Amino acid sequence: MEQEIELVGKIGSMALINKEDNDIDYNIFCRISKELRPGYVFVSSGATEIGRLDYIKRTGRELVGDPDEVKTDYAAQGQAILMQNYRQFIHPSYSVRQVLVEHLHFNDPEKRKHLKEFLLRCPAQNAIPIINYNDAVSFEENRKLEIALLSAKSKKVVECVDNDETAAQIACLLNAKYLLILTSVDGIYFDFADPSTLVKEISGRSAEEVLRNIERCKASCKGSSRKGSNGARAKLEYIKDAVIGGTTVKIANAKYRISDIMAGRAPCTTIGIKRE
């Protein structure tokens, strides 16, 4: 299948945060943004956490109340700051376009078609789409009900549990050549507590062989980068559809330049079908 987009990238929330200062890591924003260009589609988490930090800065306290409502309020506050930073650092000759998606955009054929056509127009228009899940208008109870109704009608349903899944589905939608998942660690580890166990490659001569090797790796992985994180196993599950479609996946640390990761000058985990 011919690849329609060169790269779909994704960065996780905690990779955008300076843990020591408990603030936005502007160096990360700057480094990534300066490398984004037309032909790239970028999925960015971070709105909820950035909104939380901004609210604390302005009020000296955190929000309390229903968790869904708190998440909605933080996400709405953080989304503007997230986009402000991308616009500030992306090259001024490029347009920047915000795209907020939900699971229904991937499960409805007309919505999928509309989203795909929009994203495919962006390179010719010198534009870079920045995508995030629309947490500001989505809440857990309603999402679960919608997913249950969709599951009753279809065997395969996209849930968009987090932006790893969202990015993988965008890569599938656009037949991307590469899917780059940027996180706060160097890739997939057999044991997260032991840096020497970094998995450099999961590959095979066919999609079926790669999927088998992904399952073997999942069975061996233990630990995650932070409490509450879905961890390596979830990432490996989410990327399967992209691998089947012929996309090469790289999971790497956001502290490295995109160009260095793609050129093999930075450590990462590369997953995909071997090309002769």
pLDDT confidence bin for 2, thresholds 50/70/90? low
The answer to whether the beta carbons of residues 172 and 245 sit under 8 Å apart is yes
Above 80 in pLDDT, residue 218? Answer: yes
pLDDT confidence bin for 134, thresholds 50/70/90? confident
Above 80 in pLDDT, residue 221? Answer: no
Orientation angle between helical segments 231-238 and 163-174, nearest 10 degrees: 20
Specify the pLDDT at position 228. 40
Strand 40-44 with 127-133, pairing: parallel
- pTM of the prediction? 0.89
Domain ranges across the chain: 7-273
Specify the pLDDT at position 142. 60
Above 70 in pLDDT, residue 33? Answer: yes
Contacts of 39 (CB under 8 A, 6+ apart): 5, 6, 7, 123
pLDDT confidence bin for 144, thresholds 50/70/90? low
Segment 220-225 shows an average pLDDT of: 63
**CA 263 – CA 259 distance, rounded (Å):** 6
- Domain at 7-273, CATH class: alpha beta
Above 80 in pLDDT, residue 130? Answer: yes
Contacts of 276 (CB under 8 A, 6+ apart): none
> Can you count the helices (H) and strands (E) in the chain?
11, 12
Q: What is the pLDDT of residues 70-106, one digit of tens each?
A: 999 999 999 999 999 999 999 999 999 999 998 788 8
Of the two residues 38 and 274, the one the predictor is more confident about is 38
264: left (phi over 0), alpha (psi -120 to 50) or beta: left
Residue 67 token pair: 């968790």
Residue 11 has φ and ψ, to the nearest 5°, of -125, 140
Strand 40-44 with 7-11, pairing: parallel
Specify the pLDDT at position 162. 83
Above 90 in pLDDT, residue 233? Answer: no
Classify residue 195 by burial, with Cβ atoms within 10 Å: 0-12, 13-18, 19+.
Answer: exposed
Above 70 in pLDDT, residue 145? Answer: no
Orientation angle between helical segments 67-89 and 26-35, nearest 10 degrees: 60
One-letter amino acid at 150 equals: L
Which of 107, 117, 103 is closest to 4 using CA atoms? 117
Segment 10-35 shows an average pLDDT of: 93
Count of beta carbons in the 10 Å neighbourhood of residue 262: 19
Specify the pLDDT at position 140. 64
Of the two residues 137 and 206, the one the predictor is more confident about is 206
**CA 186 – CA 268 distance, rounded (Å):** 5
Above 50 in pLDDT, residue 227? Answer: no
